Structure 1
């Protein structure tokens, strides 16, 4: 018992070190950008950065809860695309209808994921890979195989959700911050959050303790889908059209943000706010690369973003694996 407690304490300590390291890296990058680039600290750059990266933040938040329980959700990118099409189709009926419809579409895919995983005992990787393909196909069907579905140009409230400001902040950024506050409360201050961490720490032990493991797992997938749906709504509002071909690779960006933030891929340990820091760190790296391209020193195409995300994810997973082995030997 004492040995097990010592190992857990060491694992938590290593995770905390990782989380503070990511925060330090974020602060250093901000200082670097402020010193090197004209306009980096401008209101325009801050607003544009927050408006665009809010979508990745929302998807990463949902992914955080899934990974905390020891699962994975590869369908979120396709869910974003599907929700953007649904939101565009519902935009003539009002902004609230579009919001509810987009989130409901995402939650439905999440519910399907959760039920297949818990009732049919199919691995999350396989299940969400299947729904990734299914959601993408459904998005294309709803869009009649077109490149986009235009939103109602007369619905100013719908456009405001993606392009407007609230209290001098981009509305998508405000939505993301509210979501993370709610997610932090849910994880830290409610029985559901403690139970989700327990399931990720040991599913069999959680069942022996009488926790509703299957219900918890279904709930986190529904939450992930709903947040991806909200990101899809923002995407449609920003671009003025539902985008059935968008969201490719977003699931990897979300996983990278969560893992870079210090959440263990094996589940049981992690933080909502560290996930936000990880997602913003990745977004800031690409923002700095755009400024560097503007200086003419380097010239990197947008495809390099995928290379960088992959390298970051691999590096952090390798680091987590090494730290985990040290913890096991201890």
Structure 2
């Protein structure tokens, strides 16, 4: 390696290590601290509860990761999940499969609308998905008549949330499979390479012959479908409530960004997104444990601190990303 090329590559390697391993290191330290400070923090019951309740956010984060890596943003995932939960709850009386298909289909249709409006009509992702955010909330309220829709327990629909397979909660199996498929698709499929290419430089991707519009429609459709699946889990865990889902899109964005995916697109990782989801979940879980801690000095933090922590983490990581990006651009 020549002396001139070395300074160009080293900062890039350092930047990627910070983005990909920083969240994992923080997660490990928090787990160690929590295990030493709180009883049952690393117990089977808490781990099972935390992983199951976090699964729906993981599904939304996968879709958000693909959208952000393509250079876009999806602000509609929270209310799309709520709409899907209402649809799934209403269909749960007909069985588990119709409820799942209906919820995912509702999310898929919303995602297709976003993708077509953005890719075909060249509209801004922020504006389109914000409109879908508002419309999905209104549609959920209209379908449910502004009331919570009860699910059917006779058909076994609730087992999507409460069921256990080989000692692992069913929602964890669903989210785990989605993460595995997402990671494989991003790393080894033509679709994954296309998403990164479009996010890195859309015009260059077009000149390379990549179907840019089709890729954009696909990532938003994927995001909508996964939000729909998250809505199905939400309905199975609680009910079809048209007032849930507030701030879910911010949780997904925070998890994706904390995991090292660049907001500018063109770079990211599904497995690191999983780390981001777990990191945020562990932090919020630690706040709950801290409130119940009685063996020594402790902090009493209200529920609003969870929102503050999410915002602070997202801001800190965005600032770090901006600094690393400017440093890399200055070197190059």
In the alignment, what sits opposite 2:139?
138
Question: Cα offset for 1:41?
Answer: 1.4
Q: 1:204 to 1:13 in 2, by over 3 A?
A: farther
- Checking the alignment, whether the CA contact within 8 Å between 1:71 and 1:267 is kept in structure 2 is yes
- Checking the alignment, whether the CA contact within 8 Å between 1:110 and 1:223 is kept in structure 2 is yes
1:211-239, Cα deviation, whole Å (9 max, x unpaired): 00000000000000111111110110011
1:34-78, Cα deviation, whole Å (9 max, x unpaired): 111111111110110001011111110110000000000000000
- Checking the alignment, whether the CA contact within 8 Å between 1:60 and 1:258 is kept in structure 2 is yes
Alignment of 1:50-69 (within 5 A): 50-69=51-70
Q: Does 1:180 align with 2:179?
A: yes
1:280 to 274, 278, 281: 278
Query: What is the TM-score of this pair, normalised by structure 1?
Result: 0.96
Q: 1:130 to 1:327 in 2, by over 3 A?
A: same
Q: Name stretches of at least 5 consecutive residues in structure 1 with no aligned partner.
A: none
**Partner Cα distance (2:185, 2:24) in 1:** 22
3-state SS of the aligned residue for 1:270?
coil
Q: Does 1:271 align with 2:291?
A: no
Aligned residues: 326
**Partner Cα distance (1:303, 1:111) in 2:** 34
**Partner Cα distance (1:61, 1:197) in 2:** 14
**Partner Cα distance (1:116, 1:248) in 2:** 24
**Partner Cα distance (1:16, 1:65) in 2:** 20
Which range moved further: 193-202 or 302-311? 302-311
In the alignment, what sits opposite 1:116?
117
In the alignment, what sits opposite 1:293?
291
**Partner Cα distance (2:154, 2:300) in 1:** 40
Which range moved further: 252-261 or 160-169? 160-169
- Checking the alignment, whether the CA contact within 8 Å between 1:15 and 1:263 is kept in structure 2 is no
- Checking the alignment, whether the CA contact within 8 Å between 1:7 and 1:328 is kept in structure 2 is no
Q: 1:128 to 1:12 in 2, by over 3 A?
A: farther
- Checking the alignment, whether the CA contact within 8 Å between 2:205 and 2:212 is kept in structure 1 is yes
In the alignment, what sits opposite 2:200?
201
3-state SS of the aligned residue for 1:243?
coil
1:170-223, Cα deviation, whole Å (9 max, x unpaired): 110111100000001110011110011000000010011110000000000000
1:218-276, Cα deviation, whole Å (9 max, x unpaired): 0000000111111110110011x101111110000000000000000000011000000
1:104-128, Cα deviation, whole Å (9 max, x unpaired): 1001000000000011111100000
**Partner Cα distance (1:186, 1:6) in 2:** 33
Q: Does 1:228 align with 2:231?
A: no
- Checking the alignment, whether the CA contact within 8 Å between 2:85 and 2:228 is kept in structure 1 is yes
- The alignment's C-alpha RMSD in Å is 1.7
- Checking the alignment, whether the CA contact within 8 Å between 2:93 and 2:155 is kept in structure 1 is yes
In the alignment, what sits opposite 2:191?
192
Alignment of 1:213-224 (within 5 A): 213-224=212-223
